[in-house]
Amino acid sequence: MNNSLKEDLSKGRDNFQEYLDARLDLLRLNMAHNFSKVLSGFIIKAVVMFVLSFALLFISFGIADWLNTQIDYPGTGYIVVAVFYIIIMIIFWFLRRRLVEGPVIQAMIEIFFPADENFEQNNNE
């Protein structure tokens, strides 16, 4: 009897250790997957922003040159374009929490803590 109890406890402990190892492996895989999603999204957005920055730069030079010919005073077009970007920067600075921080936090929560469909279905019933 005592030997059987020891064997059962040993099997239970071994099963529990296997379960913990499997859960740890699953956690590692989930973290690697989530980190990969965040990193790949960041890289894609960085490349797009880099290309769009050059496009915006050349469009800005074009608009500034066009304004210089319209105003007929050298340099004024560049000042107008610079003031426009400063105004946009000031507006962005005051709206940064609503435009950037909130959506970034929400995106990270959705990536690292995906909604459990079974949980949502059980709660909606």
| Rg of the chain over all Cα atoms, to the nearest angstrom | 29
The pLDDT value recorded for residue 103 is: 84
Q: Nearest CA to 64 among 53, 85, 52, 79?
A: 79
CB 74 within 8 A of CB 68: yes
Interval 21-73: pLDDT, tens: 999 999 899 888 888 988 898 899 999 999 999 999 999 999 999 999 999 88
pLDDT at 2 over 80: no
pTM (predicted TM-score): 0.61
**Distance between CA atoms of residues 68 and 62, nearest Å:** 10
